[in-house]
Each structure stands twice: as C-alpha cells, then as structure tokens.
Amino acid sequence: MSVRIAKSAGFCFGVSRAVELVEQAAAAGKQVVTLGPIIHNHHVVDKFKALGVGVITAPEEAAPGQSVIIRSHGVSRDVMERLEGRGVEIIDATCPFVKRIHSLVSRAEDEGRLPVIIGTPTHPEVEGIAGWCSRCRVFESPQELEKWALSGDVSDDVTICMVSQTTSTESLWKTCVQFAKKQFTNPKIFDTICRATEYRQSEAAELSQSCQAMVVVGDPSSSNTGRLAMICREHCSKVFLVDNAGELRAEDFDSVTDVGITAGASTPAWIIKEVNKTMSEITNTETVMEENFAELLEQSIKTLNTGDKVMGTVTGIGNTEVQVDLGTKHAGYIPYDEVSTDPSVKPEDILKVGDEIEVFVVRVNDQEGTVQLSKKKLDGLKVWDDMAQWVEDKTTVEGTVTEENKGGLVANVKGIRVFIPASQSGIAKGGDMSAMVGQTVQMKITEVNRARRRVIGSIRAVSSESRKAAQEKIWAEIENGKKYHGVVKSLTSYGAFVDIGGVDGMVHVSELSWNRIKTPADVVKVGDEIDVYVISFDPEKHKISLGYKTTEMNPWNQFMTNYSVGDVVDAKIVKLMTFGAFAEILPGVDGLIHISQIADRRIGKPEDVLSEGQQVQVKITDVDAENKRISLSIRALLEGDGEDAE
C-alpha cells in the first residue's frame, strides 16, 4: 500500500501571512484580537486563544489600544472605517489577491459599471468584496447569472465588471465568462481566481483519479476544503473529509492499496503531518511526506530585498500580471510590461503554469505581503553581457527599427536601445530613412558602453558582408546566357544598371526593347524588378553586359505567331508617304498600304483620304518574312462590301 500527499496541501501564502502576522503581534506583547476567526480552522484559533489572542465579531467590540487583525478574507470599506474610528491599531492581513478585487469593483463603480461577483454570497470574502461598492450583484452559479440577465430587469445599456471569489472553480468561472461575453455589451472581465487554489484543485483531481481512497484534511466550515472534497468525489468513490487524525478509521481503508492526502488552504502543517503519520500506521507503511514542513517554514520566512535575483514557479497568468510562487510569505507578481523586452510578445507565448523562472525583485511590500518582479530586467542584464560578446565575435543580430532621429536610426535589440548612425543605416545619403521604421533588420553591434548605456550598431556592416559573399558567388558561377532576377538601380542616357544580387550589370538601351525608344525610362524605372540574361562579362574589369529584350518579346515573332495573310485587323496610320501610308499593326510592326490600295477609286495623294493617328481596318494581303515586310489593303475590304451589297 502507498500513501501520497499532494504537494500543494496546506497553507496558501495568504493564510500563512495572516497567521504569521498574528504570531508576530502576540510575540510583541500587544493586546491582539482578530476580527472574526483568523482562518477557517478551529485548531489554529484555539492555539491563538491560548496565547491570549481574542476574537471579536464587530468593530464596535474593539477597545482603544488593541491591535485588530483583519483576516485574509478581507472586510468591507464600512467595516474598515468603523475600525478607524475606534482608536485601535489595524493590522491588515487581507490576502493581496483579495485586496486587488476590492480595487477592481471600486474602480468599476467609478467608471459607471455594475460589479458582478461570482461566488457564495454569504462567504466572508464575498461579503467583503461587495462592501467596496455601493451596489453589485452576486451569483453562486452560471444558472443564477443567466436567470438574472434574461429576467427583463436588466436594462440594455448596462455595462458590467465581472470578478470571481478567489476559491471559485475554474469550470464554473469559464461558464459564467462565456455567457457574459455573449449577453453583455463590452463587459470587463477579470479572472481573479487564486492560481494557488486552482493548482490545489487540479492536483486534487489528478491525485484522486489514481488513488482508491482520498483523505481531505481541513475544517468542515472551510469553503476551499469543501470544494476539494467535491472535486475528489468526482473521480474517487471513497473520499473522507476529516478535521484531524483522530477522525480516521482503519476499517474505512480495508482492501485499499493507494491512498491520497490533500488539505485545504487553512489546514496547518502539523495536522497534515499527524494525518499522514496515522494513515501510515493504518496502512502499515513508512511515513511519507512529499514536503519537508520544517524546510518550508524556514523558507517562508526568508527575506527578499530589492535587486535580488530569485527563482520562482509560475502559478497563474492573469489579465494584467503573471503570478509567481517564490516559496516565501510574499505574493509575487510580474506586471505584463515587465515580462518581456519585446512589447509584442504575449506572456502566455513564453510562459506557462508550472514553469520555473529566474526573476528580478523590483519592489517589496512587507505590509501588503507582495513583491513586484521583473523578468524583463533580468533578461536585460543578461543581454548587456551578450552585447559585449557580440562585439568581440562580430555576431550578426536581429532588431526592430523603432524610430528615426537627426543622426540616424534607433533599433530595439532584445529590449536594449541601439543607435545606428545614418552612415551605417545602409540608406544612400539623402535617402528616406523613415521607411525603415517598423522593419526587422540584421546588424552588427560595433560599440558597447555599459556605464553610459550606449550601444552602436551597423546595418551597413551586415549588408556589406552579405553583398561581398553574394558577389563572390555570382563571379564564381556566371556564364553567358545565364538568367537573373534583378532590380533596376539607376538609369543613364545609354542604358539601365541592374543589381543581380550584389553585382551591377548594364542593359544597353538597344537591349531594353525591340521598339525604337528615346530613353531607358520609356521601358523601366528605378526599383523595378526585371528578369535579365548575361550577354557578356569581364571578370578582371568587373563588367557585365545584360540583355532584357527576349525572342519572345520580339514584335515580329508575335506578329508571325498570331497573324496570317487574309486576316482583317485594326491598325493606326503612323506615317504618310507619296506612294502610300504606313499603318501600325502591333507596337514595332508596321505594314504598307500602297496608294492604289487606299480607296476603291483613284486618289491624288494618301492624305486626301487618310491622316496620321487615324484608326482603320485593313486586310493583310502579303507577308515577306525574309525582309519583314507586310502589304495591307483598305480597298480589298471596300470592294468586298460592294459585292455583298449586290
């Protein structure tokens, strides 16, 4: 037989912090009372009672000079104000996660939103949350939420802010969220379930699936303990909720080979230890403890200081922050803008629950029991070390251009600001550097001054290196007739220079088009991507002659492919002569209409009937392929019309 204990069994950090605050106040000789039982566990309450710690049920019971401790569930604004008027010292042990919900509902009301709380209306935590706004609605189930929303009592223009009791179940919360998103316009929804609770519940579910019996340890009045028992019963037929080891009965575990133990967040370590010991005696196995509670206790009281580098475990990814368990009494959190040096990265893209990460301590608030952390700052410190190495190794790195300034460009490389002088931008003098903003570029880091936090980079160094490698490749493989896809870099009166991948070649004006052109600009412009082929090259002089016009582009070949004698085509009169008129059939292909073929009568000169630019229909009467001459006739069409009329 085996006995297994859930790693998450026992105090959560919020409860642990509250208990510690009571112990510290009592040890300091203060007259201590708690407003309500400090936690849902009568064993702990009795222990404190023996130390002289009393329990009051209302602020009015507090006497001047007393130290009143607010339990981790928190209280309403009204209760806090009533306490302040009693002349007492207030020690606020409200769980930081609960404190955040107080702020959310208060701010929501200021924004004109109706706070909607998913939780048990009579639970002290929920009562406290509701007390931080003048009006709100509380629903224990998705069905209650739906019934209210569809009752007709809710106006169409109502906007809600929805939060959850920290110990609510994930499945219940998700169902409520799905409905709220469909039913309400622009709802603000905050997932305020404590991830420590979620982890505890998921671990209980997993453990109960593999064990024949489950023991849930905790005070029956504890909400989260009750939920643990409920979750375990979904997967295991034998579930025993016990307050202490004395409630265990050997006969309940006959024929059971695997037993799992979990405990609520209000269950102290010593009770779990006793249950484990008794369970081991019943099952005749060695005492098994998954956690060394002495070590945990020692770890929980260790101090944290700003600037520390510490290891932690991701316990939750919320809407605005990542929650991290540092193994101390503090609630660790990383604001979203401190997760990554890349502002476009989402926390869930690089982190998941259960990940162990190293973080930088930004701020410690012992009073509230929170510690603000940063992953970005620690990553940034490591990047500075990397930067120095990149300079030495001449490493090519990637960055995003974020802005243009007077002297050049600024890029973001792993969260570090890198200045790229205009001369190193790769943009020609006078060029538009603003077009680079937003682009991801390759660069070399050329200078790092950590003390002044100054980094210089060069895009040009990478492009020069790449261009040199490309040039060597082209000259090693070039041959006549080889085709390249290039970019037109510049134009002159005699041709166009084309970059074919690091090397410029020239296309002479005569090689740009089969037609007669005045300038290269009639065919191409700077920036055009064109296909060219090598006509000749000289490696010693680094000169390459390129061709652009191809046989397929030859207008005469196009004419011979698509037209034949007898075809009737549309043509444009391009030149008038004494002996006839030349008409363009295709750009670059003209045919002659002899003066005798212009009309069905004798005419003195072609311009008596035709004019330059006139569109006419002609018939192809002869093609001299060898001399590339075409004979055309308008008369043949006119005589044909006359025959049809007869």
pLDDT at 161: 95
Q: What is the pTM of this model?
A: 0.49
Residues of the chain with pLDDT under 70: 1, 285-303, 319, 329, 366-369, 466, 550-552, 640-646
Of 280, 274, 211, nearest to 247 by C-alpha is 274
Q: pLDDT digit string (tens) for 365-376? A: 766 667 889 888
- Exposed/middle/buried for 621, CB within 10 Å: 0-12, 13-18, 19+? middle
Whether 180 and 113 have beta carbons less than 8 Å apart is answered as no
The C-alpha atoms of residue 491 and residue 504 are separated, in whole angstroms, by 12
- Contact predicate 480/506, CB 8 Å: no
Rounded Cα distance between 588 and 572, Å, is 12
Cα 537 off chain centre by: 50
Helix (H) / strand (E) containing 636: helix 635-645
Q: What is the pLDDT of residue 131?
A: 96
Strands in 160-164's sheet, in edge-to-edge order, are: 137-139, 114-118, 160-164, 188-189
Own/partner pairs, 535-538, CB within 8 angstroms, 24+ separation: 535/480, 535/511, 536/480, 537/478, 537/480, 537/505
Do strands 529-538 and 483-492 pair parallel, antiparallel, or not at all (unpaired)? Answer: antiparallel
Catalytic residues, by residue number, are 125
pLDDT at residue 349, rounded to an integer: 85
Q: How many CB atoms lie within 10 A of CB 43?
A: 15
Return the half-sphere exposure (C-beta side, CA atoms, 13 A cut-off) of residue 394.
Answer: 3
d(CA 323, CA 340): 15
**Judging by DSSP bridges, how do beta strands 188-189 and 440-449 pair with one another?**
unpaired
| 519, amino acid identity | T
